[in-house]
Chain A
């Protein structure tokens, strides 16, 4: 029998209603995530990349149960988890943990590091007080912060990188199987970012973890992940092996995204597809464009793109993309 995927997201839709007027009549919907399907295998790093407002964070929140999916299913190790609540959800949270984007606002400024990390153990009632303390000690060593120096500090006394390490420790202490990272390094300087990314790679090996890695920075995602999903305005447009996505991007949006990476070395410059900057900016998820949502900004767009949603095309075993032009024709710059 085929092994069930570790995490399987099927036709996930998350809509947020917009209310207006005295009787709070629903006047529209923000289609934050629209029909997204992908799966993550065990001990894999799956990267989600896309611009602001493309729905990356909403997917993460739906997996954690912070927002309720409008439609669709989320399967985690053979269980449908999207409608878990109460005790079942609480048990599940120890297996799926999230590291948030902005640590200076996600860590309680009135709690010390010790309390910040221990709170997860308290909620899940794991161990005696002494065991809890030892566990905090152990986990701080894993994130390379000497416990003696940090246990009784407030977040305000820590630098950005240190705060991010605390946030990672907090997620790790429950020994989760899946970790969701929502732009873990976007607030950090490059020299600190590199340290944190290397730490994540090391922890993954040590604890045999599975990552869902969300970022807007394609060069970070390319280096971190095994597979990548590219999102645009609530929809996935391309999924594939990260090396394959870089060397052989199929969707025009992926190509534009890669060509816009500000690279540094001459060698990298030759790797970028040469193309003019994209027109305009990401549209609104309230009234998304008909047909392919990318068509108003696409320089290859044909009439068909404005009315029909494109289908998925298999490019190779692991690489799929969603564009009308792929139908028999290769739109790659050759």
Chain B
């Protein structure tokens, strides 16, 4: 890992609910290095998207609140940054590829409109309506922006970009819409991409196209990427390092090959054993469900589902230990340098 461009330190997020305080994110640490793609893997409800929202500063506060920690982006703490500064960072330094491509585009505007506003208005908080239309009707300014947009659409391999610009989102297929969203997120030439399950809504053949594209783009323009997904296979294809998340805690971290070939944490190995494999090996799921966040287990959050659980797991929270080089795990079964 190179010097981290984004680092989340001891972040805790909780939500106020009718039943009480739900402690969703529990002291997580996460680093994304320069030119590095990092996977954040976990099942539904484990807090992946909440982490992402906290990084982007779009947590619904209240009911949510950040109870502890820092999110450092190139030295700046995003949690304490004023909104004005944050707006300047979004799109230009940090940008997002959302999950559901067809829902994320505004259905009543053409692709061109959505792009133009972004290119011409990025980072501005407010603009008067007169100035808005004045600039939009200024051919010289829009021509320049359009050229930039078409070049970007070519980069994400959209065939015939001039024609696509006049399409409404309903005319696009899922794969095309996702490519356009990738183009939108890249247009401000950001330093880091946050991808929130960008291929979940797509077919496998299209998923392969998008992954190949994202890989090429991050390599070509030296981008860092935090790739959030529940799909282990996709993570292996795209990421160099991976964090495994369970119930708001990071349980294991390391290089992709190491984690998927020799998983240490019982949850990670359970997850890998759950996948139906081409070798037709037996697969078995994990018993139970994720814990209730209001009454979380006191110790390790995985212990009620863990078949190796000891008494100590019940009462004491395990800390992250480096078991092998660059392979960290939060589990009482392991000691420094064991196995």
Give residues in A with beta carbon < 8 Å to B: 51-52, 159-161, 189-198, 216-220, 222-224, 243, 246, 256-257, 259-268, 271-272, 276-278, 281-282
Contact A194 B283 (CB under 8 A): yes
Contact A197 B43 (CB under 8 A): no
Q: A159-B289, A260-B205, A281-B206 are in contact. Are A194 and B175 (CB under 8 A)?
A: no
- Please give, as numbers and ranges, the residues of chain A lying within 8 Å of B43 by CB-CB distance: 189-191
Q: A194-B274, A197-B276, A223-B276 are in contact. Are A189 and B230 (CB under 8 A)?
A: yes
Once bound together, how far apart are the Cα atoms of A159 and B289, in whole Å?
Answer: 8
Top 6 closest A-B pairs, CB basis? A262-B233, A194-B285, A195-B285, A194-B274, A191-B286, A223-B276
- Please give, as numbers and ranges, the residues of chain B lying within 8 Å of A197 by CB-CB distance: 276, 283
Give, as a whole number of angstroms, the nearest-CB distance from A48 to chain B.
15
Contact B230 A190 (CB under 8 A): yes
- Please give, as numbers and ranges, the residues of chain B lying within 8 Å of A272 by CB-CB distance: 278
Kindly identify which residue among A192, A260, A268 contacts B204, using a CB–CB cutoff of 8 Å: A260
Question: Residues of B within 8 Å of A, CB-based: how many?
Answer: 41
Once bound together, how far apart are the Cα atoms of A278 and B289, in whole Å?
Answer: 38
Report if B275 contacts A (CB, 8 A).
yes
Which residues of chain B from 114 to 144 have any CB-CB distance to chain A below 8 Å in the complex?
none
- Please give, as numbers and ranges, the residues of chain B lying within 8 Å of A220 by CB-CB distance: 276
Give, as a whole number of angstroms, the nearest-CB distance from A198 to chain B.
7
- Please give, as numbers and ranges, the residues of chain B lying within 8 Å of A222 by CB-CB distance: 276, 278, 280
Once bound together, how far apart are the Cα atoms of A99 and B232, in whole Å?
Answer: 27
Contact B276 A265 (CB under 8 A): no
Give, as a whole number of angstroms, the nearest-CB distance from A240 to chain B.
16
Once bound together, how far apart are the Cα atoms of A228 and B120, in whole Å?
Answer: 52
Chain B, Cβ-Cβ closest to A297: B205
Q: A222-B276, A223-B276 are in contact. Are A256 and B205 (CB under 8 A)?
A: yes
Report if B315 contacts A (CB, 8 A).
no
Contact A281 B278 (CB under 8 A): no
Give, as a whole number of angstroms, the nearest-CB distance from A151 to chain B.
19
Interface membership of chain B positions 255-291, coded 1 if the CB is closer than 8 angstroms to chain A and 0 otherwise: 0010011000000001111111111100111110100
Once bound together, how far apart are the Cα atoms of A2 and B141, in whole Å?
Answer: 77
Interface of chain A: mostly helix, strand, loop or mixed: helix
Query: Once A and B bind, how many residue pairs between them come within 8 Å at the CB atom?
Result: 124
Pairs A–B under 8 Å by Cβ, sample size 5? A220-B276, A223-B277, A243-B280, A260-B205, A264-B277
Contact B232 A264 (CB under 8 A): yes
Chain B, Cβ-Cβ closest to A51: B203
Once bound together, how far apart are the Cα atoms of A261 and B279, in whole Å?
Answer: 13
Once bound together, how far apart are the Cα atoms of A159 and B292, in whole Å?
Answer: 12
Contact B205 A223 (CB under 8 A): no
- Please give, as numbers and ranges, the residues of chain B lying within 8 Å of A189 by CB-CB distance: 43-44, 230
Contact A190 B275 (CB under 8 A): yes
Contact B285 A268 (CB under 8 A): no
Contact B204 A261 (CB under 8 A): yes
Contact A194 B284 (CB under 8 A): yes
Give, as a whole number of angstroms, the nearest-CB distance from A73 to chain B.
31
Q: A191-B43, A195-B285, A260-B205 are in contact. Are A281 and B233 (CB under 8 A)?
A: no
Report if B176 contacts A (CB, 8 A).
yes
Report if B104 contacts A (CB, 8 A).
no
Contact A262 B271 (CB under 8 A): no
Task: Please name 11 further chain A to chain B contacts, defined as beta carbons within 8 Å, in addition to the given A191-B274, A223-B277, sorted by A numbering.
Answer: A161-B289, A197-B283, A198-B284, A216-B203, A217-B276, A260-B207, A260-B208, A262-B232, A263-B236, A265-B277, A271-B278
Q: A262-B231, A281-B176 are in contact. Are A257 and B276 (CB under 8 A)?
A: no
Give, as a whole number of angstroms, the nearest-CB distance from A294 to chain B.
11
Give, as a whole number of angstroms, the nearest-CB distance from B46 to chain A.
9
Interface membership of chain B positions 213-235, coded 1 if the CB is closer than 8 angstroms to chain A and 0 otherwise: 00000000000000000111110
Contact B285 A193 (CB under 8 A): yes
- Please give, as numbers and ranges, the residues of chain A lying within 8 Å of B188 by CB-CB distance: none
Q: A194-B285, A262-B237 are in contact. Are A267 and B207 (CB under 8 A)?
A: no
- Please give, as numbers and ranges, the residues of chain A lying within 8 Å of B316 by CB-CB distance: none
Contact B261 A281 (CB under 8 A): no
Report if B106 contacts A (CB, 8 A).
no
Q: A190-B230, A220-B276 are in contact. Are A277 and B205 (CB under 8 A)?
A: yes
- Please give, as numbers and ranges, the residues of chain B lying within 8 Å of A277 by CB-CB distance: 205, 208-209, 212
